[in-house]
Amino acid sequence: MTDYIIGHYAYWFTFILMMIGFYGMTMKKNLVKKLIGMNIFQVSIIIFYVSTAVKWGGTVPVLDLNISIADTSKYINPLQHCLMLTAIVVGVATTGVAFALSISIFKRYKTLDEAVLIERMIKDNESDK
Amino acid sequence: MNLTNNSPVLIPLLFLSTGIMTPVLAMKKEWLARWIALGASAASVALSIFNLIRVINVGKPIHYKLGNWNPSLGIEYVLDHLSAFVILVINAIAFLVLIYAKKSIESELPGKEVPYYASVLLMLCGFNGMMITGDLFNLYVFLEICSLTLYGLIAVGEKKSSMAAFTYLIMGTIAGCFYLLGVGFLYIKTGSLNMADVRAILPFMLDQPAVVIGLCFMTLGLGIKMALFPLHGWLPDAYTYAPSVSSALIAPTGTKVASYVLIRIFYFVFGITFVSKTLPVADIISWLAVVGIIYGSIMAIAQKELKRMLAYSTVAQVGYIGLGIGLANPFGLIGAVLHILNHAVMKACLFLVSGNFRLKLGHSNIFKLDNTIRKKMPWTMAAFTIAALSMVGLPPMAGFFSKWYLALGTIEKGNWLFLAAILVSTLLNAVYFFRILEKVYMKPIDSQSSNTHEQGTYHDHSVKENEETVKRDEVSPSMLFPTLTLAAALVVLGILNAIIVDGVIKYIIPKGL
């Protein structure tokens, strides 16, 4: 059991990081804090991917003349890193759109606090009637 | 440059290039944006038809290697009956809505045409890419492309739309990340991202916990994207507050594409025996879908805003598709795929009608709709009536046949509760659509001025007077044409459903189902 926990320590930390992000996204009342949670959440998944590429004693996947090409166990898997480059770009773009949205929310409601926002939205509903 | 060989890749490429080029080309000439969007969309419809015919002629999936890299190293695009069919549906709907868009955008979003059309093109690029790709990670990238533009298209609507888009962004990001995480687990185990490869390798490692967790995460992510019942929280607000054109574009296409991906993952990556027999995932999906069907219908009855009612009705209709996927038998799958087509046409038509109301009446509040509309907008109301009847599922309309296949699927499965749910929801559909039809068609036209008339002659007289005084105030032909085309399509699709099922959908059913 102890071996199991210690042997997978990278996954546990990723999991904790992910839950922190998830908590921020769902429980925090301030929209910017939600976005911070969102970024932590995305980063945890990036770390998860990258950690799966690790090999003990592996080196960067660039041809080393001392190691033969066929000896793939000496090179770490580069694919995850490439995938995560795309995921990072996606994350940046999402954050950008999210900030643009929060600016537009702030312009319309003059607040970024969810409780106040809902209050003002309900007020709008009543004035519509 | 060989058109036939390269036809699978052309549609996403077309939308991607035009989407990026639109802001540049239309910088000085803003009217150009609309024509670029229309042209690209028309070309995509032609290409989709070409692709579908090609697939039907070849009779087996067409694999396209991007950059001539072999699959598992490179990205592969796969054109089979399922993807070619759904691509045609989505592109045709988008084309009709884009014809419609001009006046509605001019009145709701003055001065924002160029970025709007550019976003629409990028969104369509994302949708088409999601449907045609045979690579799990490539699908994620396209999913995010279309999600990002969806947030933008929703956020430009009325005051509350930015908050609705923000909620959607939070939930959509969770969905995307869950999907990515699921792909990660699959990749760890299979070492490949190509769907066909993963399909070939997976049978040897189905007992591994990582594969199970991967399936769960992917299902969860796609469930959020397709607004399956407990995960539908973002949908009603987003569809209600978005501009009319956005609603009409997104409601018929967005959830359908996610449903398509779910079918792809369930039936073509994991294999349905694993999803339905080994693990009860398909069962859970169908139970949630049934709850969603009833819940969405009841919530739709409780709404007083037409667009919001349609949004809740979407939750219910996505439930039908989810039910068809979860039944895991041929009739269920046929019903689900046919309902993707039918519901896309019905919802597009209904949202266009609500857009017509918004443009001409300035609102789409159900309680403010009255009997003068039948005189003011006879064609719009005719389209609404046909679409409403189809939603309820009266036989000559398209909506009946997909429900019929779903009902056959539930009978084959032997689950009478599901059958009851389909029938009850039909009644509930009737309630929320007929209350509008009743308000508009059943009452004789009278107005407040007629109250002063004498009691005896009051009725006939006032009708005669007001039938003449209410002027026709129909929307312009460019908006009416798509609305009526979609309405007519419902009747045509209903009559032709046997041809569609025999010619295309029958071949979708994977072996061993």
State the pLDDT at residue A73: 79
Residues B65, B73 contacting (CB under 8 angstroms): no
CB atoms within 10 A of CB B112: 15
Residues A47, A17 contacting (CB under 8 angstroms): yes
What residues of chain A lie within 8 A of the CB of B167, using their CB?
Answer: none
- Give the 3-state secondary structure of residue A75: strand
What residues of chain A lie within 8 A of the CB of B174, using their CB?
Answer: 22, 25, 41
Residues B189, B205 contacting (CB under 8 angstroms): yes
- Give the 3-state secondary structure of residue B194: strand
CATH of domain A2-128: 1.10.287.3510
Residue of B145, B163, B224 to mutate for A, most A C-beta atoms under 10 A = B163
State the pLDDT at residue B468: 58
CA–CA gap between residue B304 and residue B436 (Å, rounded): 10
Contact A38 B184 (CB under 8 A): no
Contact B184 A45 (CB under 8 A): yes
**A28-80, pLDDT tens digit by residue?**
889 999 999 999 999 999 999 988 888 888 888 888 888 877 777 788 888 88
Backbone angles phi, psi at B135, to 5 degrees: -125, 130
Residues B85, B504 contacting (CB under 8 angstroms): yes
CA–CA gap between residue B203 and residue B192 (Å, rounded): 14
Contact B162 A104 (CB under 8 A): yes
For B133, the domain range is: 1-166+236-265
CA–CA gap between residue B93 and residue B344 (Å, rounded): 7
Residues A80, A53 contacting (CB under 8 angstroms): yes
Whether residues B103 and B53 share a domain: the answer is yes
What residues of chain B lie within 8 A of the CB of A90, using their CB?
Answer: 141, 144, 176
Mean pLDDT calculated for residue range B414-438: 89
Within a domain: B315: yes
Least confident window among B40-49, B187-196, B458-467: B458-467
Minimum-distance CB partner of B152 among A45, A83, A97: A97
Whether residues B412 and B294 share a domain: the answer is yes
What residues of chain B lie within 8 A of the CB of A97, using their CB?
Answer: 148, 151-152, 169
Whether residues B260 and B322 share a domain: the answer is no
State the pLDDT at residue B219: 92
Q: Residue A48 corresponds to which amino acid?
A: F
Q: How far is CA B86 from CA B222, B242, B257, in A?
A: 17, 24, 8
Q: Which residue has the tokens 């046997």?
A: B498
Whether residues B252 and B373 share a domain: the answer is no
Residues B112, B87 contacting (CB under 8 angstroms): no
What residues of chain B lie within 8 A of the CB of A22, using their CB?
Answer: 174
Beta bridge partners of B305: B365
Within a domain: B212: no
What residues of chain A lie within 8 A of the CB of B181, using their CB?
Answer: 45, 48
Whether residues B135 and B105 share a domain: the answer is yes
State the pLDDT at residue B96: 92
Within a domain: B121: yes
Q: How far is CA B204 from CA B199, B347, B367, in A?
A: 10, 42, 59
- Give the 3-state secondary structure of residue B70: coil
Query: How far apart are the CA of A12 and the nearest CA of chain B, in angstroms?
Result: 15
Whether residues B16 and B152 share a domain: the answer is yes
Q: Which residues numbered 135-154 in B keep a CB inside 8 Å of some CB on A?
A: 137, 140-141, 144, 148, 151-152
Contact B180 A87 (CB under 8 A): yes
ipTM surpasses cut 0.90? yes
Instruction: Report percent pLDDT > 90 for chain B.
Output: 36
Whether residues B422 and B462 share a domain: the answer is yes
Contact A86 B141 (CB under 8 A): yes
Cα B7 vs. chain centroid, distance in angstroms? Answer: 24
Whether residues B160 and B305 share a domain: the answer is no
Contact A93 B144 (CB under 8 A): yes
Whether residues B294 and B381 share a domain: the answer is yes
Contact B173 A38 (CB under 8 A): yes
Query: How far apart are the CA of A95 and the nearest CA of chain B, in angstroms?
Result: 10
**∠ CA B263-B254-B95, rounded to 5°:** 115
Residues B156, A114 contacting (CB under 8 angstroms): no
User: Is B461's pLDDT higher than 80?
Assistant: no
| Torsion (CA) B127, B132, B133, B139 in degrees, nearest 10 | 20
Please tell me what DSSP assigns to residue B191: S
* Residue B156 in tokens: 């430009």
User: Is A129's pLDDT higher than 80?
Assistant: no
Minimum-distance CB partner of A45 among B144, B180, B188: B180
Number of domains in chain B: 2
Residues B342, B395 contacting (CB under 8 angstroms): no
CA–CA gap between residue B418 and residue B412 (Å, rounded): 11
Minimum-distance CB partner of B162 among A22, A108, A124: A108
Please tell me what DSSP assigns to residue B439: I
Whether residues B298 and B325 share a domain: the answer is yes
State the pLDDT at residue B466: 56
CA–CA gap between residue B407 and residue B374 (Å, rounded): 35
* Residue B347 in tokens: 């919802």
Under the banding of pLDDT at 50, 70 and 90, the label for residue B446 is low
Contact B173 A42 (CB under 8 A): yes
User: Is B168's pLDDT higher than 50?
Assistant: yes
Residues B115, B74 contacting (CB under 8 angstroms): no
* Residue B330 in tokens: 């041929």
Contact A45 B137 (CB under 8 A): no
What residues of chain A lie within 8 A of the CB of B148, using their CB?
Answer: 93-94, 97
Residues B224, B172 contacting (CB under 8 angstroms): yes
In A, minimum Cα distance to B172 occurs at A94
Whether residues B309 and B431 share a domain: the answer is yes
Q: How far is CA A74 from CA A57, A60, A81, A92, B72, in A?
A: 7, 9, 17, 33, 21
Within a domain: B110: yes
Minimum-distance CB partner of A104 among B141, B148, B155: B155
Under the banding of pLDDT at 50, 70 and 90, the label for residue B292 is very high
Cα B328 vs. chain centroid, distance in angstroms? Answer: 21
Contacts of A1 (CB under 8 A, 6+ apart): none
Q: Mean pLDDT, chain B, as a whole number?
A: 86
Whether residues B97 and B244 share a domain: the answer is yes
- Give the 3-state secondary structure of residue A125: helix
Q: Does B112 touch chain A (CB under 8 A)?
A: no
